[in-house]
Structure formats: C-alpha cells, structure tokens
C-alpha cells in the first residue's frame, strides 16, 4: 500500500517547450500533494503544496506562472514546467498525504514518488 507513481521518470526537452509531470496516488486518496525539487547532492526543496480542488500554495521564490500545478482529483496532481530553460533541469519529486488516517495510512505522513528527472537542452 501507499504507492505514489510519477510519469514520466525521465524527460529531455528543448529550451522553450513545456513539460507536464504527473503524480498519482495508486492505492489511496490524497487531499494534499507536495512538489519538491532536488538539485544534485542537495536536499529536497518544497516548491508548492497542492490541494484537491483549490489553487496551489507556492513557496517563496517559486514562480507560479512557470510551475503550473493542477490537482484535479484525489489521486492526481500535475506539474507543468512552462517555457523550460536549462536552469530548470532538476529532479522533481512529488509526495502525497492520505485523505484520512486508517490502516497503513497516517494523515501526518507523506508518501513519495520515484521522481522525474528533467533535462532541458
């Protein structure tokens, strides 16, 4: 239980194009999903918090018009990197928090996806 998937796992794109990354909770409903960015040999930096059916909350310094987040259902959130540039190349990781506690799932715990490596040429 508590599996979070991301698609694609790896993407290479040209500068100026947009890239969409999907995050899915496979066996539980997630009211909240989080998007992180991890630079090589560094820690995870929270980019934004996504709540189902409402606008995402972005961390300071993260451009909301560049990193579009949509959380249309309780099992899916998407991150779209618009007009990508080489400096956007990074490892993007999502996590999901269960809608309720019970069984394997704790409301206070986040389950992480495997990450998406974005390379912008």
Residue 115 Cβ vs other proteins, minimum distance, rounded to whole Å: 6
Residues 6+ apart with CB under 8 A from 47: 35, 36, 37, 58, 59, 62, 67, 79
Residue 109 Cβ vs other proteins, minimum distance, rounded to whole Å: 7
Q: Is position 8 an interface residue for other proteins (rule: CB under 8 A)?
A: no
Residue 69 Cβ vs other proteins, minimum distance, rounded to whole Å: 13
Per-position x/- string for 46-85, each x denoting binding to other proteins as judged by CB under 8 A, each - no binding: x--x-x-----x----------------------------
Strand ranges, E, within the chain: 4-7, 10-13, 19-25, 30-38, 44-51, 57-58, 67-73, 76-81, 90-98, 110-112, 116-120
- Footprint of other proteins (CB under 8 A): 32, 34, 41-46, 49, 51, 57, 93, 95, 97, 106, 108-115
């Amino acid at each position: 239980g508590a599996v979070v998937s991301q698609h694609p796992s790896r993407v290479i794109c040209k500068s100026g194009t947009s890239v969409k990354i999907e995050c899915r909770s496979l066996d539980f409903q997630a009211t909240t999903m989080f998007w992180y960015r991890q630079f090589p040999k560094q820690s995870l930096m929270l980019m934004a918090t996504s709540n189902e059916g409402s606008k995402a909350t972005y961390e300071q310094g993260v451009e909301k018009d560049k990193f579009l987040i949509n959380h249309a259902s309780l099992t899916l959130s998407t991150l779209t990197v618009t007009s990508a540039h080489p400096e956007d190349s990074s490892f993007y990781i999502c996590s999901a928090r269960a809608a309720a506690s019970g069984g394997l799932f704790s409301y206070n715990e986040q389950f992480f996806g495997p990450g998406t490596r974005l390379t912008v040429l």
